[in-house]
Amino acid sequence: MNARRVLLELFDSALRAVDGRACVEELLRHAPRNRSSVFAIGKAACAMALGAKDALGDLIEELFVVTKQGHVDPQLRGAGVTILESAHPVPDARSLAAGAELARRVTELREDLWPIFLISGGSSSLVECLNEGETLESLRALNERGLAAGWEIGKLNEERRRISRLKGGGLTRLLGQREALGLFISDVPGDSPGVIGSGLLGLPGDREDPVTSYVVANIDCAVREVINAGGAHGLELEQRTTRFDGDVNTVANEFLEALRATRADGLVWGGESTVKLPEVHGRGGRNTHLALTIARSLRPGERLQILAAGTDGTDGPTQDAGAIVDALTVERATIAGCDVERAWRDFDSGTALEASEDLVHTGPTGTNVGDILIGLKHSAGALRGDPLPRML
């Protein structure tokens, strides 16, 4: 058995379990058959919008989509569909333009159309309307400061709401008392619609909420499917029951210790770590840095292989989903001419893991439920097999 191939298959199973198109289509099959206006926002917006089209067909009179640049699905283009590509993870002028257009469309929505909102992670950067006195420069500075400092999502959202007319229930306020449906793919702890996308559809306090909300996918769904898929390979996998969060180095050490200690064939954990970036840093994201941190801690000949990857297919500002590492990762990168310790210190993990041929590439996945760690206990040398495929 090729353990690296199995890890990719387990990750692919997780992605299919939380696929935005399938999850939205399944729920909307049972929704009222009303003429609708659909608003899809986030890194999984195109997949979620396709699910709405699959379920509702010609009942959708207009479809407005805002997604990350490069995440547009060509299947979605057509009459009545408006697609805007915007900026992530740091907003730019496109974010403000998309936010203004979103607010205008919601405000001017015809009374005979039922509003349906499809929200996934990434929305915070993709759409924005600023409070008076705030500028694009202050918005970008806030996001860059939060990313560099490794703020957890609660603090980041609190700061975003302070300067925003959309965050913290802005879309709900634009709706007034108008009833609407909100479907969410969650990448946040607790899966609260008041937090996903910085709470575009959230309402503070005890106000009656006119939006009926459903979370159609989260990290727990992905982790459960990894467990099930592992069983189909004859593997008993242990699940960590709490989400991982906090400092990437702490997460890496805790996962590696738990993987070494488990009596099962492997370990699965979902969540999101945080990194504190120096002012000058290289290529990489939190998952590749986590993977390289684990690789540096593996003992020579240790029989472990670990996948660390983002379910959206992009790790921070890179086009890498993450990486699969083993006890020979550092040696392979070094032989290829990479100074691994320098790369780790400078947050240039992508360069090191490209040298070791350990990066995982999926392209946009149509979902975004956070990050996943999968570790298997097998012989790293004997099971290395062929180089990693560039696509799942």
Residue 379: alpha-carbon gap to chain centroid? 31
Q: Cβ neighbours of residue 161 under 8 Å, at least 6 residues apart?
A: 167, 168, 198, 199
Same domain, 238 and 186: no
Q: What is the pTM of this model?
A: 0.92
Rounded Cα–Cα distance for residues 324 and 311 (Å): 14
Q: Directed axis angle between helix 45-56 and helix 20-28, to 10°?
A: 30
In a domain, 385, yes or no: no
Same domain, 234 and 352: yes
Interval 1-10 mean pLDDT: 91
User: Do residues 78 and 55 touch, judged by C-beta distance below 8 A?
Assistant: no
Segments forming the whole domain that contains residue 194 = 19-217
Domain total for the chain? 2
pLDDT score for 130: 93
Q: Ramachandran region of residue 42, left (φ > 0), alpha (ψ -120 to 50) or beta?
A: left
Query: Which tokens is 185 given?
Result: 């793919």
Of 217, 245, 279, which closes a domain?
A: 217
User: Do residues 231 and 202 touch, judged by C-beta distance below 8 A?
Assistant: no
Rounded Cα–Cα distance for residues 328 and 91 (Å): 38
Question: pLDDT (tens digit, 9 = 90+) per residue, 235-290?
Answer: 999 999 899 999 999 999 999 999 999 999 999 999 999 998 877 889 999 999 99
Residue 147, pLDDT > 80, answer no
Rounded Cα–Cα distance for residues 144 and 136 (Å): 12
Rounded Cα–Cα distance for residues 129 and 139 (Å): 10
pLDDT score for 77: 86
Same domain, 252 and 301: yes
Q: β-pairing, 371-376 with 266-271?
A: antiparallel
Among 273, 257, 387, 307, residue whose Cα is nearest residue 11: 307
Residue with tokens 């780790």: 344
Question: pLDDT (tens digit, 9 = 90+) per residue, 362-385?
Answer: 999 999 999 999 999 974 344 443
Residue 361, pLDDT > 90, answer yes
Same domain, 245 and 280: yes
Among 214, 371, 225, 389, residue whose Cα is nearest residue 288: 371
Burial of residue 321 (CB within 10 Å: 0-12, 13-18, 19+) is buried
Same domain, 202 and 237: no
Residue 42, pLDDT > 70, answer yes
Same domain, 290 and 357: yes
pLDDT score for 98: 97
In a domain, 388, yes or no: no
Question: pLDDT (tens digit, 9 = 90+) per residue, 295-338?
Answer: 999 999 999 999 999 999 999 888 999 999 999 999 999 999 99
Bond preceding residue 89 cis, omega within 30 of 0: yes
Rounded Cα–Cα distance for residues 63 and 223 (Å): 31
Kindly tell me the sign of the dihedral angle through the C-alpha atoms of 77, 79, 80, 86: positive
Rounded Cα–Cα distance for residues 251 and 272 (Å): 9
Same domain, 207 and 249: no
Kindly tell me the sign of the dihedral angle through the C-alpha atoms of 152, 154, 160, 163: negative
Question: pLDDT (tens digit, 9 = 90+) per residue, 191-238?
Answer: 999 899 889 998 755 567 899 999 999 999 999 999 999 999 999 999
In a domain, 127, yes or no: yes
Of 217, 245, 266, which closes a domain?
A: 217
Of 217, 243, 262, which closes a domain?
A: 217
In a domain, 381, yes or no: no
Same domain, 198 and 318: no
Residue with tokens 């918005």: 139
In a domain, 338, yes or no: yes
Q: Please, which pLDDT band fits residue 392 given cuts at 50, 70 and 90?
A: very low
Same domain, 205 and 245: no
Among 122, 218, 124, 132, residue whose Cα is nearest residue 171: 124
Same domain, 207 and 276: no
Backbone angles phi and psi of 245, in degrees to 5: -155, 180
Q: Please, which pLDDT band fits residue 38 given cuts at 50, 70 and 90?
A: very high
Q: Which of 12-16, 153-157, 189-193, 194-198 has the lowest mean pLDDT?
A: 153-157
Q: What is the CATH classification number for the domain harbouring 161?
A: 3.40.50.10180
Same domain, 33 and 10: no
